[in-house]
């Protein structure tokens, strides 16, 4: 089975990728000995995902290993805030704190009528020969005026999904996965990967 190195150590993300890329052996980056901090200083999701794949690809080349590398970058884009928090979604409130991020978002949306938003995910896969394939996924919705349901994951408790007609904070894992931006990006990438063979 062909290996794909995933630029993540996040158990939830690893599980999700393994389930969908089930014809490949998905290996988290720590298992190849990659423990460096990658500086994600891109201005778009695509740039950041490419920064991660390039860093790990270079590491593999230095070890004379020829594996595909995959990385994703995702976040929340709010229309009335010119696409913010965007690539800064994880540290919008100043550091990596979900509650501060949500509080800062609600403060910035005070008095705004347009609360349209979307979650965006971009996944880049780089082959050993340098060929790059990019998958993209989005899910549309609106930002609520207060938190609803499960507050343990990012902006989910503020995001009301148009398709589900339900807040992600109240949705089951199955419901959320059926429309999720990451799930859609993974499927888009997998289709393109299969066509590139």
Residues assigned a catalytic role:
73
Listed as own residue / partner, the contacts of 105-114 with beta carbons closer than 8 Å and 24 or more positions apart are: 105/76, 105/78, 105/143, 105/155, 105/158, 106/143, 106/145, 106/146, 106/158, 108/81, 108/84, 109/78, 109/80, 109/81, 109/143, 112/80, 113/80, 114/79, 114/80
CA 99 – CA 121 distance, rounded (Å): 21
Decide: helix, strand or coil at residue 28.
Answer: strand
């Amino acid at each position: 089975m062909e290996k794909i190195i995933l630029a993540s150590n996040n158990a939830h993300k690893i599980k999700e990728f393994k389930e969908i890329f089930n014809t490949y052996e998905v290996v988290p980056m720590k298992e190849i000995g990659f423990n460096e901090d990658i500086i994600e200083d891109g201005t778009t999701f695509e740039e950041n995902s490419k920064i991660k794949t390039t860093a790990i690809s270079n590491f593999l080349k230095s070890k004379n290993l020829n594996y595909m590398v995959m990385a994703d970058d995702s976040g929340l884009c709010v229309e009335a805030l010119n696409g913010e928090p965007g690539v800064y979604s994880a540290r919008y409130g100043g550091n990596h704190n979900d509650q501060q991020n949500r509080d800062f978002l609600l403060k910035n949306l005070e008095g705004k009528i347009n609360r349209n938003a979307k979650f965006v995910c971009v996944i880049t896969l780089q082959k050993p020969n340098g060929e790059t394939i990019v998958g993209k996924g989005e899910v549309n919705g609106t930002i609520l005026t207060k938190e609803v349901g499960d507050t343990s994951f990012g902006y989910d408790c503020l995001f009301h999904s148009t398709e589900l007609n339900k807040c992600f904070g109240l949705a089951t894992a199955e419901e959320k996965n059926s429309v999720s931006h990451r799930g859609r990006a993974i499927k888009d990438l997998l289709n393109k990967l299969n066509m590139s063979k």
